[in-house]
Structure 1
Amino acid sequence: MESGEGVVGPVRRVEIRVEGVVQGVGFRPFVYGLAERFGLNGRVGNDTGGVVIDVEGPREAVAGFLKSLEVDAPVLADIERVTVVTRPPRGSIGFRIVDSDHGGPRRTPVPADSATCKKCLAELFDPCDRRYRYPFLNCTDCGPRFTIVRDVPYDRGNTTMAEFPMCPACAREYHDPTDRRFHAQPVCCPDCGPRLRIVDAHGRPLGDDPVGRAVELLRAGMVVAVKGLGGYHVAVDATNPHAVETLRARKRRADKPFAVMVATVDEARRLCVVDEAAERALTDRRRPIVLLDRRGKELAEAVAPGNRQLGVFLPYTPLHHLLSVEFGAPMVLTSGNASDEPIAFTDADALSRLSGIADAFLVHDRPIHAWADDSVVRPWRDTVVPVRRSRGYTPEPIRCAWEFPRPVLAVGAELKNTVCLASGCRAVLSQHIGDLRNLETFRAFTDAIGHLSRLSDIVPAVVAHDLHPDYVSTNYALDSTGVDLVGVQHHHAHVAACLAENGVAGPAIGVAFDGTGYGSDGTVWGGEFLLATLSGFQRVGHLEVVPMPGGEAAVRQPWRMAAAYLRDDPDASSLAVARRQGRRWEWLRRLVDSGLGTPVTSSVGRLFDAVAAILDIRDTVTYEGQAAIELEQRADPGCVDGYPVGVFEDAGTFVVDGPGLVRAVVDDHRCGVDVALVSARFHNGLAAAVHRTCLSIAERTDVWTVALSGGVFANRLLLERTVEALEGSGFTVLTHSRVPCNDGGISFGQAVVAAARDRSSD
């Protein structure tokens, strides 16, 4: 946008405001160099809203400067808006960088952590460079940001680097506008920066060569805790079965797959199928874990037992690069915690909580202020979709098509919790917090709210929360004072998140499939068809409800859902799943008949659980969604036929015949049909049922946009089959690309619903 005073002549002066992620990314030295290149005069500085530039010179040169300002911006910059105002020339001489103006409310986002750039990587392995093999080198294009920031503005004194005074050589780089380390707040070197050491579980030194000693221990089959960017990892040799099984036992992680770090994309290709989208994700500056289809048998089976996919990532800090190169083989690198606990990120906490897991600790003295688990993405349709949005993404704002009339805090769900702070047109999603089921995670939850509030300078006037009365996050909201509370139904939040990130206000047909969510009628929802806008919804369809024997116990024991779905089958006791349970099977069927302790549910997640148990895949689970994941893993992707699924009307609501789908599964299973075909037919049948139900709703409402959300749609096979069917009938299909479809995106959905209701009440 540009405005001006009609100034004519050979010299032009403009004032420019650049907003977005433009501080802490080398933007001012970039502008300085750009002005020098075009022979322009003026100045550049930071303020609380972004970067402010005053530049003058020949008209053609100013035009070239303005074009290059956005096209050639630094790699970590994310420009939201450039405002240009023409002013009368004033005869400036030279170009300079001026001191920052920190007055007023903070509106400039803090950048996210970024993987080591190519220039720093070259220095790391250059024997002639003064930072040769230094595990903490960085510049304005890479390195720690969010995880070291204590407060704003983003200056060195407000980061955990404050306790490391710069040596003269680093200070010269820091103050030189032509150097790529100009105002790189974490700048350091071996003379003045953090130092690495290796110790045992009691904190006693284990040698003078920390990386070399860590590699020796890994090769010997030991478990090594590694202090990373956003917390501690624990590492073992991914090719050593005994080492991997030892790690599983110590972490109390029976089955959930481990992520694997490899040094290069070529090494990733040896383990997995890597297409162009996957390669882009692997080499992205965020360095997420990328879920890929496996190939070969190089790794220990216990890395990802029975799983066709593997989570792979490349090194993202200098320390990771050093370890990868010296070790020379794939390495398990998983979160430093015991099962269900938040990641350890302080040294004292790590030594305390991980002493029973790790044999040695590779530590350093740069404190981590904000923990951040690794992000996880999955390639889909030439792009990637987030499964867990954390390190490398937080606190990058999600820009919205509509304003938040009042600042909002959304506190998310119980599982895969995140929180969201929103103001203006920006929503800031926290790092992955986890499951709010213990005191440590609740502390992480409250710490995340406090830290994001400081960084974003947002004081909420509205707190949005789930309707479930027993959620920890809901109770936190209800205890808040001086704010307006907005309760948001769980599945509406899912659908609203999908709508908002696609810039669609609705109405749309929202298909929300997940494990459990508190319904508006007090029952357990999870297979919902909603006619939705951002501000409200009508439930127009759902999966047929069935008993959920034992409530939460049915989530941990899928065989209970099998018994519930087979309650009317007189021959169910002859199935292997019934024989495995013995007397418990008949006892549970009597419990279902009595109605005691058996809430009803429309959950698609519980439907998957029932089928997995019937097909003898999984009777009990050790992590959320395990039965459904393994059922998808067993499906034959080449199978295109599916079971016919009935859809009927009940009091004007469309109901999908889940029990009928289960009966079809049982019939084929009794006939000895291969599990791979049965699983594929189940997936295809469910996708066809979604298609049929959406067609019925569209014919009644003339709404031809569908938003797919909820954790079940992390199932790639189901997602692909559903989208193909819907698009084939002319629907516009919206899916997630910026927030997870699972409960990690719930807080964003809650925030946009609260804002939409605010706007509609004006």
Structure 2
Amino acid sequence: MAMACAAPLSDTIAAVIALPRPVPAVLGVGAFLKNTLCLADGSQALVTADFGDLATVPAVLAFEAAAEALLARNRARVTQVAHDLHPNFHSTRYAVALAERLGVEATAVQHHHAHVAAVMAEHGCETPVLGLSLDGFGLGPDRDSWGGELLRVDADGCRRVGHLALLPQPGGDRAAREPWRMGAAALHALGRSAEISTRYAALPGAGVVAQMLARSVNCPPTSSCGRLFDAACGLLGIKPIATFEGEAPMALERLVRRPRAEPSGWQLADGVLDFKPLLARLVDLPAEDGADIFHGTLVAGMAAWVAEAAAATGIRRVVLSGGCFFNRVLTQGLVAALHERDIEALRPIQLSPGDGAISLGQAWVAAMAKG
């Protein structure tokens, strides 16, 4: 463990990103999952390798050792420490304490804003973009659960222009490891709560979850696209209980043969994209057919959503970011659908679409805010 934490800084740098203009030194400390650090200084940003999730002592020690090494690099004078909006992440607590020690500003950056900004930094983009940020969870400004966001982002900040329709998340974070719970949430949202106990009778707690949903107890609402994927998996019987977050959606993607859209599979009103009609269609489908229809309809609905926002804002560039874009069927289908609408899709170049890019996004947001 000690040897890993004491590794030379050069061994921990995974990417060097050229920035479009020189910036004062800013340290981005990343999020909780797949944590990385980023030092933006001058015309480049150094992004570390992934330390893993900051839930283990080795990951935390490696994170802190790398942060101190970055601070010491060329005696860079860090002017800001940028962190996630979530107050309970170890990275956030570390950033606040570090900023106080250095006598500099600690800058909170919303999770999905950072996702979009990371891609902007890689493309050297400072003009306004739309940002479609799809993942499992990020804390919103009102401490609500985000994860299916359509944003307008520029050098002055970020504005939410739309989101996926909310679904209850029975058991909170537990639903990310037990997709059947999101299947139950979908049935509840469709007015079919009576089917939960029978459909999931073989799973412990089905009756309790049905009662939780009926009483809105420990069922925080979420706009998460990751949980929408889980709801589809729960309805189709794919990995009702997963060993890690994202396992069920990955299995769902592998079943896709020929994506096709359900024409009436979504509703769009006031920037809110609602896939409940799609979920209703999945209830009685075989898993293979459901995988095709789910992915095809997701692409068609999201392309229409982005096109509406592009028409309203006049912005014809959209950043695709967040862990859901590891899904190649979704990504390739959406890029093609947007191209047909004359909308340019910007994707990550060196970094991944997942949380490993958050630190770069945080640093770039903080740098842009200071002009």
Q: Into which bin does the TM-score normalised by the smaller protein fall?
A: over 0.9
Shift of 1:700: 1.1
The aligned amino acid for 2:203 is Q
Shift of 1:459: 3.1
Contact 2:9–2:66, Cα closer than 8 Å, also in 1: no
Query: What is the SS of the residue equivalent to 1:435?
Result: coil
1:573 matched residue in structure 2: 196
CA distance in 1, matches of 2:92, 2:263: 40
Corresponding position: 1:664 with 2:281: yes
Q: Give unpaired runs (5+ residues) of structure 2.
A: none
Shift of 1:571: 5.5
Q: Deviations over 1:229-287 (max 9, x none)?
A: xxxxxxxxxxxxxxxxxxxxxxxxxxxxxxxxxxxxxxxxxxxxxxxxxxxxxxxxxxx
Shift of 1:660: 2.2
Contact 2:232–2:282, Cα closer than 8 Å, also in 1: yes
- Residues 525-540 of structure 1: matches in 2 within 5 Å? 525-540=146-161
The aligned amino acid for 1:756 is M
The aligned amino acid for 2:344 is T
The aligned amino acid for 1:628 is P
Contact 2:299–2:333, Cα closer than 8 Å, also in 1: yes
Deviation above 4 Å: which 4+ runs of structure 1? none
The aligned amino acid for 2:275 is G
2:365 matched residue in structure 1: 753
The aligned amino acid for 2:201 is R
Corresponding position: 1:440 with 2:58: yes
Contact 2:165–2:273, Cα closer than 8 Å, also in 1: yes
Corresponding position: 1:465 with 2:83: yes
Contact 1:496–1:534, Cα closer than 8 Å, also in 2: no
Contact 1:403–1:755, Cα closer than 8 Å, also in 2: no
CA distance in 1, matches of 2:265, 2:76: 49
Query: What is the SS of the residue equivalent to 1:447?
Result: helix
CA distance in 1, matches of 2:301, 2:222: 18
Q: CA RMSD in A?
A: 2.1
- Residues 321-400 of structure 1: matches in 2 within 5 Å? 346=3, 369-370=7-8, 394=13, 396-400=15-19
1:408 matched residue in structure 2: 26
Shift of 1:453: 2.9
In structure 2, relative to structure 1, the CA distance for the partners of 1:456 and 1:596 (3 Å cut) is farther
Q: Deviations over 1:129-181 (max 9, x none)?
A: xxxxxxxxxxxxxxxxxxxxxxxxxxxxxxxxxxxxxxxxxxxxxxxxxxxxx
Range with greater deviation from structure 2 (441-450 or 618-627)? 618-627
In structure 2, relative to structure 1, the CA distance for the partners of 1:575 and 1:535 (3 Å cut) is farther
CA distance in 1, matches of 2:232, 2:143: 26
Query: What is the SS of the residue equivalent to 1:517?
Result: strand
- Residues 151-550 of structure 1: matches in 2 within 5 Å? 346=3, 369-370=7-8, 394=13, 396-404=15-23, 406-480=24-98, 481=100, 482-550=103-171
2:264 matched residue in structure 1: 644
The aligned amino acid for 2:46 is V
In structure 2, relative to structure 1, the CA distance for the partners of 1:596 and 1:394 (3 Å cut) is same
Shift of 1:422: 1.1
CA distance in 1, matches of 2:239, 2:6: 39
CA distance in 1, matches of 2:6, 2:61: 16
Corresponding position: 1:735 with 2:347: yes
In structure 2, relative to structure 1, the CA distance for the partners of 1:573 and 1:647 (3 Å cut) is closer
In structure 2, relative to structure 1, the CA distance for the partners of 1:564 and 1:370 (3 Å cut) is farther
In structure 2, relative to structure 1, the CA distance for the partners of 1:643 and 1:588 (3 Å cut) is farther
Query: What is the SS of the residue equivalent to 1:510?
Result: strand
In structure 2, relative to structure 1, the CA distance for the partners of 1:679 and 1:442 (3 Å cut) is same
Q: Deviations over 1:188-222 (max 9, x none)?
A: xxxxxxxxxxxxxxxxxxxxxxxxxxxxxxxxxxx
CA distance in 2, matches of 1:575, 1:680: 26
CA distance in 2, matches of 1:368, 1:521: 39
Contact 1:647–1:693, Cα closer than 8 Å, also in 2: no
Shift of 1:489: 0.5
TM-score, normalising length from structure 2? Answer: 0.93
In structure 2, relative to structure 1, the CA distance for the partners of 1:456 and 1:559 (3 Å cut) is farther
The aligned amino acid for 1:645 is G
Contact 2:260–2:297, Cα closer than 8 Å, also in 1: no
- Residues 113-132 of structure 1: matches in 2 within 5 Å? none
- Residues 38-53 of structure 1: matches in 2 within 5 Å? none
CA distance in 2, matches of 1:639, 1:621: 24
CA distance in 2, matches of 1:396, 1:515: 25
1:615 matched residue in structure 2: 236
The aligned amino acid for 1:600 is P
Query: What is the SS of the residue equivalent to 1:579?
Result: coil
Query: What is the SS of the residue equivalent to 1:566?
Result: helix
Shift of 1:476: 0.9
CA distance in 2, matches of 1:598, 1:528: 20
TM-score, normalising length from structure 1? Answer: 0.46
Shift of 1:755: 0.3
1:694 matched residue in structure 2: 306
In structure 2, relative to structure 1, the CA distance for the partners of 1:595 and 1:460 (3 Å cut) is same
In structure 2, relative to structure 1, the CA distance for the partners of 1:400 and 1:486 (3 Å cut) is same
Shift of 1:593: 2.2
Range with greater deviation from structure 2 (705-714 or 395-404)? 395-404
In structure 2, relative to structure 1, the CA distance for the partners of 1:549 and 1:371 (3 Å cut) is farther
Q: Deviations over 1:667-720 (max 9, x none)?
A: 4x2xxx4x2221021011111111001111111111111110000001011001
Contact 2:130–2:151, Cα closer than 8 Å, also in 1: yes
Contact 2:196–2:210, Cα closer than 8 Å, also in 1: no
Query: What is the SS of the residue equivalent to 2:41?
Result: strand
Contact 1:642–1:683, Cα closer than 8 Å, also in 2: no
In structure 2, relative to structure 1, the CA distance for the partners of 1:628 and 1:370 (3 Å cut) is farther
Contact 1:642–1:680, Cα closer than 8 Å, also in 2: no
In structure 2, relative to structure 1, the CA distance for the partners of 1:570 and 1:422 (3 Å cut) is closer
CA distance in 2, matches of 1:707, 1:639: 23
The aligned amino acid for 1:573 is I
1:277 matched residue in structure 2: none
1:677 matched residue in structure 2: 289
Shift of 1:444: 1.0
CA distance in 1, matches of 2:32, 2:17: 22
Shift of 1:467: 0.5
- Identity among equivalent positions (%) equals 36
Contact 2:130–2:315, Cα closer than 8 Å, also in 1: yes
Shift of 1:570: 4.8
Alignment coverage as a number of residue pairs = 366
CA distance in 1, matches of 2:240, 2:55: 23
CA distance in 2, matches of 1:654, 1:394: 39
In structure 2, relative to structure 1, the CA distance for the partners of 1:555 and 1:370 (3 Å cut) is farther
Q: Deviations over 1:10-47 (max 9, x none)?
A: xxxxxxxxxxxxxxxxxxxxxxxxxxxxxxxxxxxxxx
Contact 2:265–2:276, Cα closer than 8 Å, also in 1: no
Shift of 1:452: 2.7
In structure 2, relative to structure 1, the CA distance for the partners of 1:396 and 1:699 (3 Å cut) is closer
Shift of 1:625: 1.3
2:216 matched residue in structure 1: 595
CA distance in 1, matches of 2:64, 2:263: 47
Corresponding position: 1:631 with 2:245: no
1:264 matched residue in structure 2: none
In structure 2, relative to structure 1, the CA distance for the partners of 1:757 and 1:746 (3 Å cut) is same
Query: What is the SS of the residue equivalent to 2:130?
Result: strand
In structure 2, relative to structure 1, the CA distance for the partners of 1:570 and 1:455 (3 Å cut) is closer
CA distance in 2, matches of 1:446, 1:696: 44
The aligned amino acid for 2:86 is H
Which protein has the bigger helix share? 2
